[in-house]
Amino acid sequence: MPTWTSVTTTIAPAWYILGHARHLMAQGAFRPIYFLDKPEMYSPSDYESFNQNIRYMICDGKYWEKLKGVPPTVPHRQLVNLKVARKISSDDWYLHLDSDEFLHLNLDFFDVVDNLPADVTEIRLQNFERIMRPDASTWHTGAFRVPCWNRAALSNYPEFIQPFLALGLANYYHGKSFVRNSPIITQGIHGAIRKSEFEVIRFNVPWDTGFIGHYQYSGRESFYRRFAYKRQDGEALLKHELAQAQWIVENDFAQDKISLLGRSLFEVDATVADEYCQKGLFRDMPEAYTSRIESSFDAAHLRVSG
């Protein structure tokens, strides 16, 4: 029987990894693979739970020594780990996900595959960005900001954040992909790379059939911690993300300024969100999407912590 799985490099707590994995397995993933970037943070009982539910690799000094050193940035570590995952497992399709990303499929994945030509080696999903209500009590609800290339519509965003968006999104905008296990294909963070001069044959999933929900913001305190971590670790940035980082540098990494940026980019009240939906900038979250997250996590873990 064919299988698909996900590959994630993470420093998330154990409860979150297990909820993230349950969410994927509910959609057909076979034992998602997690590379634990800070393995010392997990207890023996955490590892016992991991053993029962997921596949994982401990990315400690010995692991990186075998691979000739620790890559300098998170994306480089993700790429190495993705290659390792594809070598140590034999699944038919792989989806690279960050731990703050949630897959949504309206169809069984292999029902999609069965209707595609055998030449298709990449199935691309668009990413949406979750936007919170300012008074939200849970981190998984809100609305989705979607890609937009209409300049008139984009002009509705506040002037302050317009330099920090590209195609209307605050982070990456080019989606994530299922990539076939094939000897002629390697896999990058976002999609397939063919080992020849020929193009990858790709199918783009319609938005109503599937997408990736990106949760880069789950509260002001966590957003600040995220940027503090990026400051220490370094990360590849698109042009508009670099503009965000430069603005933060110019403001000397002040917590109140980082919180202002986070609120401005990722908090929108219901009235404005409805207006943005009408203008094609936002869309409502499907009820099936939020319900699946709720069934994957304990209710206490869905509450906003900061």
Mean pLDDT of 95-117: 96
What is the model's pLDDT at position 237?
82
pTM of the model: 0.94
306 pLDDT above the threshold of 80 = no
Mean pLDDT of 250-275: 93
Cβ contact 101:214 at 8 Å: yes
Point out the least confidently predicted range of 83-92, 110-119, 219-228.
219-228
Cβ contact 135:263 at 8 Å: no
Mean pLDDT of 7-15: 97
What would the pLDDT profile of 142-186 be if each residue is shown by its tens digit?
A: 999 999 999 999 999 999 999 999 999 999 999 999 999 999 999
Point out the least confidently predicted range of 21-25, 186-190, 255-259.
255-259
What is the model's pLDDT at position 220?
79
> DSSP string covering 245-264, please?
HHHHHHTTT-HHHHHHHHHH
Mean pLDDT of 17-29: 98
Report the distance separating Cα 7 and Cα 169, nearest Å.
24
Please name the helix (run of DSSP H) or strand (run of DSSP E) that holds residue 102, with its range, or none. strand 101-105
Give the chain's mean pLDDT: 93
What is the model's pLDDT at position 230?
56
- Per DSSP, helices labelled H in the chain are 14-25, 44-53, 61-66, 74-88, 109-114, 151-154, 220-233, 239-250, 255-266, 270-278, 287-296
Mean pLDDT of 116-143: 95
> 280: phi > 0 → left, psi -120 to 50 → alpha, else beta; which?
left
